[in-house]
A and B are shown apart, each in its own frame.
Chain A
């Protein structure tokens, strides 16, 4: 048990470095009842999801993409949120923000869900209609509009799949490299299976100066590569599975908006996870209010940027008055999925904005968490609206989107697949927390050395060291 030396009204915590390793090992090995119950519940949901998937395949097959809209939506939601989550560790490490330390490993652990994303993507490869029109009808295009134009080798499926695969590999490499010092320390104290796993993952880490330099450089390079790859894959996958399925929808801001929603919701997810750990996981002495406060400002910025990008899209289409643009607006924003857009706007912008506007609320652990949860809900609705809508927008080879269909409501198998996807993600993450320490031990220890309270004139203030 790490005894906190003293705290600054709960904002900053100062864990004792010497006790962190032992405490983390104990926490990872313990299996509290709440966790066991959560694993059971999410496991059942996971099984329901598999059942829903099998039933959907039996009922509709893989010939048409329309019935797979909800599956695509839940895949996109999981990919959107979990794909961007490891970036929080990368970005805030890059900016040398001290407050990041408690959330580094929390965000990196989402890398494990990259494997789930790759597996879930496979059925979507089968249902995606070919870019080249197999039977060119009246007023149809020979090649539907897509970001691949004349379809280079394997496009779009091979490129999308390879992108997702490399993304998963890269995020796992970040997790492994980042956790290596912790594994090396953990192999001394862990027993049984964990000891073998930690020894394997720690490799030949002894903490020499050269190893630390390589560790830092490696994390920097992998992080930069991951960031660029993520943005690229989000662009290809979101364009292929939304915009290019709606005839004539040409919208250059959609990929940036997708990426922005992903940054906002993944930060929201990290805050929710951090809150659970602090409130009920026994990590209060490691997680102060400071990470919530600092992250809340970034979340506020992302929320405003989300509204700005959405507005930039809406006003350009609304003002343009082109028929295709009006139809896209009617379908996704005002008529067929008008309710979904209103909910999306409320959860992604209005509610988090109203919460995060107030500094006293931002300076709590629950305020930013609530805003984060709202952003997560908003992102979920964003994906439902966009991908269910795109999968059911009619003839993908038509010259333009002429007839506006009604909304597509979910059936039982869709509901199973959606809750199953969420359950699977939660199950894998929870299981991962039983294997690996959820707090980055080396960063926590490093942070404890870099921060202290000191006197300036007549007040006691926090001092933050910046070695570089």
Chain B
């Protein structure tokens, strides 16, 4: 399945470094537009901190609303990086090549954005410093002895996320070394000096390539357990709570991980389509790549749907009245039932319907619709898991409540989407979002086999 032509190395450099060496006109306009939303979000967060939690829609019953939903959503998006990069690298899938860098970078930015959410959610973010230090090098809980439960999932969570963030950054840097060296050799002045430092003396000799490949494979293998643990632990933030019905489910961890991969890979496909359109990378991000990702997504989506059905079915299985109250709210009460309808339709039936036909998978408009649909659906999924369960957590029905987000929460959430997009755009100005060396390697390994009268595309295998 090779549809592209083999391009000369010089042209690959020129094409893929275009975003860095020649900034298009629309670039700064787009950045300014996105920066406006980011600034608005930060100002709103400042307003929230100044005025207190009364300006949000959160209440005594529903304490975790838009912010935590958004936190889990962005953690989910971050799973695309490892899914595409590490797994496909280990499985030597040829079609991974143009997708890995964008996926890895998206991982880093979405993780950073995700971690802003609990910070804002605390209401007094400066106090989070106490989680780490009071006296130099002494964590708050040990120093004061008043937060003794280090076994809490809320402690595992930041540990896992920061481990994932660190390893993801390392993963990106290792893969970037050869490309930094190319940039070093093509820039002058301050840029040249910065790229020289970043390239870490890369000369492209056999030993360096060998070490880079080994490091890539080792990091791929090591990052996989971290990737799985992150979203599992995020799911256990909820799954370990016995008192809130519908959350204490054994399937939560794999269900969250598969959902994260589903939304993350969809997001990467959308980013790839945008990059192809914005920078004219039709020779690199080809329809065959989008097609392959579409097929992968059919499998991932179906796996996710299976876990979703199990989660819902076993919610009813126990026939416990307090859990049935939550399910009743999700499925029977407006507007939750309407949201539930849209969530299932947007996450599974619409996109999978669009991914089933080859010609539709190769239609970039339809693929964009499908990928955006998945992400709207997955955002709704988290919202529908968290909010109804809290709204019905009280024993007495007169204590049941509901939740509606305020404009403050909505603005901050919109700001996070603008921030990730803006950071991706800005990064495309300094590093190539398609790995140069990976594309060149793929071209070297391409060959053909003659079978009868047909010439069939083929690939060299190194093992």
- Find out whether the CB atom of A465 lies under 8 angstroms from the CB atom of B310: no
- Find out whether the CB atom of A463 lies under 8 angstroms from the CB atom of B461: yes
A166 at interface (Cβ–Cβ under 8 A)? Answer: no
- Find out whether the CB atom of B252 lies under 8 angstroms from the CB atom of A316: yes
**A450–B251 CA distance with the chains assembled, in angstroms:** 42
- Find out whether the CB atom of A252 lies under 8 angstroms from the CB atom of B251: yes
Q: Which of B248, B444, B457 contacts A465 (CB 8 A)?
A: B457
- Find out whether the CB atom of A463 lies under 8 angstroms from the CB atom of B460: yes
Nearest CB on A from B199, distance (A): 25
- List chain A residues, Cβ under 8 A from B1: 466, 468
B406 at interface (Cβ–Cβ under 8 A)? Answer: no
A407 at interface (Cβ–Cβ under 8 A)? Answer: no
**A392–B391 CA distance with the chains assembled, in angstroms:** 40
- List chain B residues, Cβ under 8 A from A467: 451, 454, 456-457
A456 at interface (Cβ–Cβ under 8 A)? Answer: yes
**A317–B314 CA distance with the chains assembled, in angstroms:** 15
- List chain A residues, Cβ under 8 A from B451: 449-450, 465, 467
A interface footprint on B256-281 (CB within 8 Å = 1, 0 otherwise): 00000000000000000000000000
Query: Taking A322-B242, A463-B460, A464-B458 as contacts, is the C-beta distance between A454 and B236 under 8 angstroms?
Result: no
- Find out whether the CB atom of A465 lies under 8 angstroms from the CB atom of B462: no
- Find out whether the CB atom of A252 lies under 8 angstroms from the CB atom of B457: no
B316 at interface (Cβ–Cβ under 8 A)? Answer: yes
Residues 409-463 of B at the A interface (beta carbon under 8 Å): 444-445, 447-449, 451, 454, 456-463
- Find out whether the CB atom of A256 lies under 8 angstroms from the CB atom of B251: yes
**A467–B3 CA distance with the chains assembled, in angstroms:** 11
- Find out whether the CB atom of B459 lies under 8 angstroms from the CB atom of A464: yes
- Interface centre among B311, B316, B460, by most A CB within 10 Å? B460
- List chain B residues, Cβ under 8 A from A256: 251, 254, 306-307, 310
Nearest CB on B from A27, distance (A): 27
- Find out whether the CB atom of B317 lies under 8 angstroms from the CB atom of A250: yes
**A456–B249 CA distance with the chains assembled, in angstroms:** 53
**A231–B316 CA distance with the chains assembled, in angstroms:** 20
B232 at interface (Cβ–Cβ under 8 A)? Answer: yes
**A458–B211 CA distance with the chains assembled, in angstroms:** 21
Query: Taking A250-B318, A252-B313 as contacts, is the C-beta distance between A465 and B458 under 8 angstroms?
Result: yes
Residues 273-320 of A at the B interface (beta carbon under 8 Å): 297, 304, 308-309, 312-313, 315-317, 319-320
**A321–B252 CA distance with the chains assembled, in angstroms:** 17
Q: Which of B242, B306, B449, B462 contacts A450 (CB 8 A)?
A: B449
- Interface centre among B2, B90, B242, by most A CB within 10 Å? B242
**A315–B448 CA distance with the chains assembled, in angstroms:** 52
Q: Which of B240, B307, B445 contacts A319 (CB 8 A)?
A: B240
B103 at interface (Cβ–Cβ under 8 A)? Answer: no
- Find out whether the CB atom of A252 lies under 8 angstroms from the CB atom of B310: yes
B253 at interface (Cβ–Cβ under 8 A)? Answer: yes
**A315–B235 CA distance with the chains assembled, in angstroms:** 12
**A439–B319 CA distance with the chains assembled, in angstroms:** 50
Residues 1-24 of B at the A interface (beta carbon under 8 Å): 1-2
A147 at interface (Cβ–Cβ under 8 A)? Answer: yes
Kindly state the interface size class of chain B when it binds its partner.
35 or more
Nearest CB on A from B210, distance (A): 15
- Find out whether the CB atom of A147 lies under 8 angstroms from the CB atom of B319: no
A403 at interface (Cβ–Cβ under 8 A)? Answer: no
**A304–B248 CA distance with the chains assembled, in angstroms:** 23
Q: Which of A304, A461, A466 contacts B462 (CB 8 A)?
A: A461
- List chain B residues, Cβ under 8 A from A321: 242
A206 at interface (Cβ–Cβ under 8 A)? Answer: no
A149 at interface (Cβ–Cβ under 8 A)? Answer: yes
A411 at interface (Cβ–Cβ under 8 A)? Answer: no
**A308–B256 CA distance with the chains assembled, in angstroms:** 13
**A462–B458 CA distance with the chains assembled, in angstroms:** 10
**A315–B249 CA distance with the chains assembled, in angstroms:** 11
- List chain A residues, Cβ under 8 A from B249: 252, 316
- List chain A residues, Cβ under 8 A from B228: 308
Nearest CB on B from A432, distance (A): 30
**A69–B92 CA distance with the chains assembled, in angstroms:** 45
B294 at interface (Cβ–Cβ under 8 A)? Answer: no
- Find out whether the CB atom of A312 lies under 8 angstroms from the CB atom of B254: yes
A255 at interface (Cβ–Cβ under 8 A)? Answer: yes
Nearest neighbor of A260 in chain B, beta-carbon distance = B254
A60 at interface (Cβ–Cβ under 8 A)? Answer: no
- List chain A residues, Cβ under 8 A from B232: 308, 312
B250 at interface (Cβ–Cβ under 8 A)? Answer: yes
B239 at interface (Cβ–Cβ under 8 A)? Answer: yes
- Find out whether the CB atom of B316 lies under 8 angstroms from the CB atom of A253: no
Q: Which of B250, B319, B456 contacts A145 (CB 8 A)?
A: B319
- List chain A residues, Cβ under 8 A from B317: 145-147, 250, 252
Q: Which of B90, B236, B306 contacts A315 (CB 8 A)?
A: B236
**A297–B89 CA distance with the chains assembled, in angstroms:** 13
Residues 195-249 of B at the A interface (beta carbon under 8 Å): 225, 228, 232, 236, 239-240, 242, 248-249
A23 at interface (Cβ–Cβ under 8 A)? Answer: no
Residues 227-266 of A at the B interface (beta carbon under 8 Å): 231, 235, 248, 250-256
Nearest CB on A from B13, distance (A): 21
A195 at interface (Cβ–Cβ under 8 A)? Answer: no
- Find out whether the CB atom of B253 lies under 8 angstroms from the CB atom of A312: yes
Binding site for B on A (CB under 8 A): 11, 145-147, 149, 231, 235, 248, 250-256, 297, 304, 308-309, 312-313, 315-317, 319-322, 449-450, 452, 454, 456, 461-468
Q: Which 9 A-B pairs have the closest CB atoms?
A: A252-B314, A252-B251, A253-B250, A465-B458, A465-B449, A312-B253, A465-B456, A253-B251, A316-B250
Instruction: Supply 4 further A-B pairs (C-beta < 8 A) apart from A251-B314, A304-B225, A463-B459.
Output: A252-B311, A308-B232, A316-B248, A466-B1
